[in-house]
Amino acid sequence: MQTLRISTDKAELDVPLIHGFLAEQSTWAKGIPLATVERAIEHSLCFGGYLGSSQVAFARVISDYATFGNLVDVFVLPAYRGKGFSKVITQAVLDHPQLQGLRRFTLATGDAHGLYAQFGFTPPLRPQSLMERYFPNIYQSAP
C-alpha cells in the first residue's frame, strides 16, 4: 500500500496542478484565476499530499492560529481516490501544532459530510447564528 506523505512546505506545492484542479474539476471554484489561487496559498496554511515527489492531494486552512480555522479546497486527484488519502490529509490538518485549541473549526461541503463526521465535524449547532456574504459564481463572472 502506498503511503501518502504530507508536507506544509509551500515550496513543494505543485501550483499549476492545484490551480488546474480547482479551476477545471472542482465544483466550488470553477474558473478561479491563477493569481487568486497563488494569493490564497500565500496567506494560508497549505497541506500537500505526495506520492514520491508527485502531488496527488491538497487541503488549505485559513486561520488566526489561535481561535478559529476554516478548512477549504480539499481534494484528492481522481486516480488516487478510495485509498484513504483524504483521511490522511484531514488527520494531518487536525494534528498540526498551530491548529490546536481553536474554539471553532469550520468547513463547507456538498456531499462529503460522512468524511468529516469521522473527525468530529457536525452540522452547525446554531445555524441561525451564522451569516455570510456568499458569491458562489464569482469566478464565472466576466472580469
What separation in angstroms does the CA of 39 have from each of 31, 42, 85, 140? 15, 5, 26, 18
Would you say how long the chain is, in residues?
A: 143
Stretch that binds ligand COA, among 5-13, 39-47, 78-86, 95-103 (CB under 6 A): 78-86
Distance CA 3, CA 63 (A): 27
Q: How far is the CB of 102 from ligand COA (least distance, A)?
A: 18
**Cβ nearer to ligand COA, comparing 66 with 112:** 112
Helix (H) or strand (E) holding 74: strand 68-76
Q: How far is the CB of 142 from ligand COA (least distance, A)?
A: 26
Distance CA 50, CA 47 (A): 10
Buried b (16+ CB within 10 A) or exposed e, 75-93: bbbeebeebebbebbbebb
Binding mask 18-57 for ligand COA (x = CB under 6 A): ----------------------------------------
Stretch that binds ligand COA, among 38-46, 72-80, 98-106, 119-127 (CB under 6 A): 72-80
- Selected from 52, 101, 114, 120, the binder of ligand COA by CB under 6 A is 114
Q: How far is the CB of 117 from ligand COA (least distance, A)?
A: 8
**Cβ nearer to ligand COA, comparing 47 with 75:** 75
DSSP-derived pairing of the beta strands 45-51 and 54-63:
antiparallel
Residues near ligand COA, by CB under 6 A: 74-76, 81-87, 109, 111-112, 114-115
